[in-house]
Chains A and B, each alone.
Chain A
Amino acid sequence: MKFVDEYRDQAKAEALAQAIARITTKPWSIMEVCGGQTHSIVKYGIDELLPKHISLLHGPGCPVCVTPLELIDKALQIAVQPNVIFCSFGDMLRVPGSAGDLFSAKAKGADVRIVYSPLDALKLARDTPERQVVFFAVGFETTAPANAMAVFQAHAHQVSNFSILVSHVLVPPAITAILSAPDNRTQGFLAAGHVCTVMGFDAYLPLAKRFHVPIVVTGFEPVDILQGILMCVEQLEQGRAEVQNQYARSVQREGNRPAQQLMSQVFRVVARKWRGVGEIPNSGYSLRDTFAAYDAETRFDVAGYHVNEDSECIAGQVLRGVKKPKECPAFGARCTPDRPLGATMVSSEGACAAYYQYRRHEQTSGAAGKRS
């Protein structure tokens, strides 16, 4: 398939891996920010191709994984109310709350539906004016424009039975939090290509300078990721700390201006809780006052709800790149995709789920061992 096959080409991938091996003289730890990149790395075994002193750390960029427990609980509380149609992206349905997930709520009679776009949920609201339609608006800057558009259109057409449960988070504050932590191991970043397609990459320039860390905006295919790693290692080896754009076929420096305008019209920046990490200042979105009527938290009176997270789950350390999934004592035993303790075991983009799916046999079978 065009625009896919050329980025999954064995000869190109091997040439890039050899180039990385040629220039690497020291051990380096590089974090891929986005869960889509983590999934690709593990699915294609990209780290197998790398020299052994390049270590890939899996970052916090999976929206399913970082959505805090209390938001899942709020979703469940709203979904079970009579007359509600609760709409969500598919992979949020299996994320465990304190007591069950949206799938189990559905099995008990809640009207929970998988949609592919918040605009589908808005259409559903217009088609069923007698029901309350709620959309679970999770995600990074990537999904924010469509969610903003849904609220904007609901407001313009006075679709009063539509609301969203907002759990939007932002990448640059998360990078700041990771680099500011005393146990930080990350020396270079692969920034998330799709987030930068929307936002551009100006916000990363002060981060690269302040923390003296290279940041390479990177795509999601194996050849993209290997090229991003090569650019990052080049900078590390040369002592540079710049923002570079590997994903130029999609990302422009200024990003998608109309999308940004819409987002700033509908959302304001607020502190947000991240699952396993805690609250990060200025790290997410809430609806502006003009659109507050579409906030499901107020409409269904769940705004004051708080809950503590499972103490055994080390998702927070995994999301900050401090630990690998297999370092968790619960991994593969008390925590599996069938019975996940934390959200990193749920989403296909979650580091724990990716390791479980592709790597859990490694030590016993040696089937996917690292190349020397």
Chain B
Amino acid sequence: MSQSKSFEGPNAPVGVSCPVPITNQDFVTLAHGGGGRMMHNLLDRIVIPAFGNQPLESRHDGAVMDMNKGRLAFTTDSYVVHPLFFPGGDIGTLAVTGTVNDLAMCGARPLCLSAGLILEEGLPMATLERVVASMARTAKAAQVTIVTGDTKVVDKGKGDGLFLNTAGIGIVEHDLIIAPSRVQPGDAILLSGDVGRHGVAIMAVREGLQFETTIESDCAPLVEPVLALLAAGVDVHCLRDLTRGGLATTLIEIAESSRLHVGISERDIAVEENVCGACEILGLDPLYLANEGRFVAFVPAPQAEHALQVMRAHAVSSTAARIGSVSESPAALVTLRSRIGTKRILDMHSGEQLPRIC
């Protein structure tokens, strides 16, 4: 592995060496992580212009920012998605939305992110440029700045092209505690939109599956509807974005942490027709498929209608629906009322869903 070096650092020394190294390459080499001129060129040419902001441009060891008094939310996540590009997004959009959404689920307004780039030797420079541009675009849309970062280059064969890590800080501008411990019997469960699109979009590209229409990931920042719910005075008890494991796993986690029963209705959970078709073909359950732009909100039942109206005013949650409610028993379980009116328990899968034989 190469020497480590951050985006920031001393000004590059000026001078001519002989022989002159090849600096204008089309792909990443180990030298791009070596801390020398090539790394600085990479940062100057690709990374810093994309994310341009004062703390980053100061090239210090870290970012220093002014803050008002209040509570902070802090989170981190790593992104190793394959393929790097998929319909509806790429690893760059994911790396920003994922961390921004985690902050939003704490009820926080995201302020700033860090970005750690782990590049595999041989990565086309054009790929890096495209991903960095996506990160910058998504950060702008989510009103968050990328203020500090780090770049490493690993040997060919020791990475999958490009891995990203982002950490984020957000400010909590209210007094609510938003956590599974606040979920109460009688809470309504609101789902922000249809489920399963990200999981199928990734699988379709990864496995070369073709459908009549392209299924796009739902990857999107969820900050707006969450801040709107808080601004509208909804007493939000719990928020959770639906990532790996999907809606079912998220609800099971909340039922287990709160020791309460979560009851949902299959009929009220939207699944797009092409996602539904892909699941039928592959033997997958859309309730367990990954999403990157969906969340559930647990709110007091009397506020459910108002909360839905607030959510539906935002494009990312325009089809929000009430899918169920919380009760005392049977505790720590999620049950689903099926389309034919029967009831079944949703259980956590032991691993990733595997496509069935027939």
Contacts and interface: CB of A to CB of B under 8 A. Distances in A.
A130 interface: no
A92 interface: yes
A143 B357 CA distance: 8
A338 B350 contact: yes
B211 to A, nearest CB: 13
Contacts of B340: 8-10, 13-14, 44-46, 49, 222
Given A13-B340, A361-B333, A64 B347 contact: no
Interface string A113-138: 01010001000000000000000001
A15 to B, nearest CB: 11
A142 B354 contact: no
B355 interface: yes
A274 B69 CA distance: 69
A1 interface: yes
Interface string A29-64: 000000010000011111011000000000000011
Interface string A130-154: 0000000011101100000000000
Contacts, number: 110
B273 interface: yes
**What 6 A-B pairs are tightest by C-beta distance, nearest first?**
A45-B342, A90-B354, A365-B330, A90-B355, A13-B340, A337-B350
B175 interface: no
Nearest to B339: A8
A365 B333 CA distance: 9
B354 A44 contact: no
A91 B351 CA distance: 11
B301 to A, nearest CB: 21
Interface in B243-268: none
A364 to B, nearest CB: 8
Interface of B: 207-209, 273, 276-277, 280, 282-283, 330, 333, 335, 338-345, 347, 349-351, 354-358
Contacts of A116: 207, 209, 282, 355
A240 B252 CA distance: 47
Contacts of A368: 335, 342-345
A249 B304 CA distance: 44
B351 A94 contact: yes
B344 A43 contact: yes
Interface in A315-363: 336-338, 347-349, 356-361
17 contacts: A4-B276, A9-B340, A14-B341, A44-B338, A44-B344, A45-B340, A49-B342, A90-B356, A222-B339, A348-B283, A356-B347, A359-B345, A361-B333, A365-B333, A367-B345, A368-B335, A368-B343
Interface of B is mostly: loop
B327 to A, nearest CB: 11
Contact of B342 (A44, A64, A142): A44
B329 to A, nearest CB: 8
A270 B338 CA distance: 42
B330 A114 contact: no
Contacts of B341: 10, 13-14
A91 B343 contact: no
Contacts of A140: 358
B355 A361 contact: no
Interface centre among A10, A46, A138 (most CB of B within 10 A): A10
Contacts of B273: 1
Contact of B330 (A89, A359, A361): A361
Nearest to A359: B345
A92 B356 CA distance: 9
B82 to A, nearest CB: 13
A364 B333 CA distance: 11
B276 to A, nearest CB: 5
B333 A367 contact: yes
A366 interface: yes
Contacts of A356: 347
Nearest to B274: A1
Interface centre among B344, B350, B358 (most CB of A within 10 A): B358
Contacts of B344: 42-45, 358, 368
A216 interface: no
Interface in A166-221: 194
